[in-house]
Amino acid sequence: MSYLNKNQLIIDVLRNRRRSTDIAVIYEETRLSYKELYEKVETLGNNIIGKIKNLEKPVHNIALFIDNSIDYIMGYFIIQYVGCTVVPIDVNVTRLELENILDFCDV
């Protein structure tokens, strides 16, 4: 069963299931329901929206440079929640690779 239609973003799945107490994420010993995950994403996302609205240059792409973790998952959803494109970056890239990615992706 697929929760994602071809025209949806993954954040839409979270929004659609935001009241569910079913487990959405398990990482090591941490478990978050869809409801808990959405509440965290919404709170942090609204905070970020308030900050990026005041920037001189519009923000379209946001880099996600974090090891695999609950924080990575929340960051991914938060970036989509604020309406930006996620630019996931492997934490093992070299400095030159990182600079090239950031430049190329306009992050």
* pLDDT value for 86: 95
Please write the tens of the pLDDT for every residue from 21-79. 999 999 999 999 999 999 999 999 999 998 888 888 888 999 999 999 999 999 999 99
Q: Is the pLDDT of residue 100 over 70?
A: yes
Place of tokens 């430049």: 103
For residue 2, is pLDDT > 90?
A: no
Confidence of residue 106 (pLDDT cuts 50, 70, 90): very high
Sign of torsion, CA 89 91 92 93?
positive
Pairwise CA distance, residues 59 & 43, whole Å: 19
Task: Yes or no: say if 89 and 101 are a contact pair by the CB < 8 Å rule.
Answer: yes
What are the respective helix, strand and coil percentages of the chain, to the nearest 5?
45, 15, 40
Q: Are strands 23-27 and 30-33 parallel, antiparallel or unpaired?
A: antiparallel
